[in-house]
């Protein structure tokens, strides 16, 4: 069973075609980076994968079912592009709160929260109120929160934004480790060089359409090409074109 099947999905906001006939299948144990310029449709695609908004047409399956069902949601870890956490909680309390919402046992929450906050480099700051956190620290807290219930599928909307170089390396290690454990990771990013290092496959979205989806090795593996160059070339070459990946069954 594929973790996610996006089958010919479209979503309009008024006259804006935010997502236009996208088909994409996520395979278990892969890291897929979703790239595209501002307004390309990445967040809209993510919101549909999570069942937050419904497609106008097409279908999305998460772990073989409707993403709005608790069974699917329980297996997803999500970090939004802009998180508004309660400012008067500290990071440990934030994770405890989310663990409670997920129905996790207190002892498990305590252990996981401690481990994860340490892992994202917030061990020393775990007791400080979130209102005193820097942007990158909030981002780190968000990554820990998304991993708390040990999800099989991780959906991260621009997780690299605001992270310093050390945090990026830690993020890369964490994500590849999760992939090696068989977890599936989908994340959107504008950080092409990082995506090139982390991802197994990349999907490029332009004006709501999937214009390229392939392995990093296939698109940027021949030395002279790096992902940045491929990205620019793909955007130039696809003026008015549509692309897309056949949906797997």
Residue 82 found at the interface with ligand ATP (CB under 6 A): no
Own/partner pairs, 44-50, CB within 8 angstroms, 24+ separation = 44/11, 44/18, 44/19, 44/208, 45/6, 45/9, 45/19, 45/205, 46/155, 46/157, 46/186, 46/188, 48/6, 48/9, 48/11, 48/19, 49/4, 49/6, 49/155, 49/186, 50/76, 50/78, 50/155
179 binds, among Mg ion, ligand ATP, none (CB under 5 to 8 A by kind): none
What are the distances in angstroms from CA 213 to CA 22, 139, 202, 220? 11, 27, 6, 12
Residue of the chain from 20, 43, 139, 189 that contacts ligand ATP (CB under 6 A)? 43
Q: Show contacts with ligand ATP in window 229-248 (CB under 6 A).
A: none
Pairwise CA distance, residues 97 & 92, whole Å: 9
Instruction: Kindly state the smallest distance separating residue 210's Cβ from Mg ion, in Å.
Output: 16
Instruction: Kindly state the smallest distance separating residue 56's Cβ from ligand ATP, in Å.
Output: 12
Residues in the interface with ligand ATP (CB under 6 A) total 12
Residue 55 found at the interface with ligand ATP (CB under 6 A): no
Residue 40 found at the interface with ligand ATP (CB under 6 A): yes
Q: Show contacts with ligand ATP in window 19-38 (CB under 6 A).
A: 36, 38
Decide whether 148 or 205 has the Cβ nearer to Mg ion.
Answer: 205
Instruction: Kindly state the smallest distance separating residue 146's Cβ from ligand ATP, in Å.
Output: 17
């Amino acid at each position: 069973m594929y973790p996610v099947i996006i089958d010919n999905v479209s979503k309009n906001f008024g006259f804006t075609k935010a997502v236009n006939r996208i088909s994409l299948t996520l395979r278990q144990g892969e890291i897929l980076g979703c790239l595209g310029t501002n307004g390309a449709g990445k967040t809209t695609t993510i919101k549909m994968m999570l069942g937050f908004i419904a497609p106008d047409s097409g279908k999305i399956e998460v772990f073989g079912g409707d993403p709005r069902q608790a069974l699917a949601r329980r297996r997803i870890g999500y970090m939004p592009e802009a998180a508004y956490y309660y400012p008067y909680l500290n990071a440990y309390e934030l994770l405890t709160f989310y663990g409670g919402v997920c129905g996790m046992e207190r002892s498990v929450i305590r252990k996981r929260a401690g481990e994860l906050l340490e892992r994202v480099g917030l061990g020393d700051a775990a007791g400080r109120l979130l209102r005193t956190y820097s942007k990158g620290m909030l981002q780190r807290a968000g990554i820990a929160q998304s991993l708390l219930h040990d999800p099989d599928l991780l959906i991260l909307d621009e997780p690299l934004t605001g992270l310093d170089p050390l945090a990026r390396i830690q993020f890369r290690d964490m994500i590849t480790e999760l992939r090696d454990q068989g977890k599936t990771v989908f994340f959107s990013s504008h950080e092409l060089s990082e995506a090139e290092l982390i991802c197994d496959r990349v999907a490029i979205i332009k004006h709501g359409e999937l214009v390229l989806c392939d392995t990093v090795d296939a698109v940027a593996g021949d030395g002279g090409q790096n992902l940045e160059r491929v990205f620019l070339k793909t955007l130039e070459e696809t003026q008015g074109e549509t692309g897309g990946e056949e949906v797997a069954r």
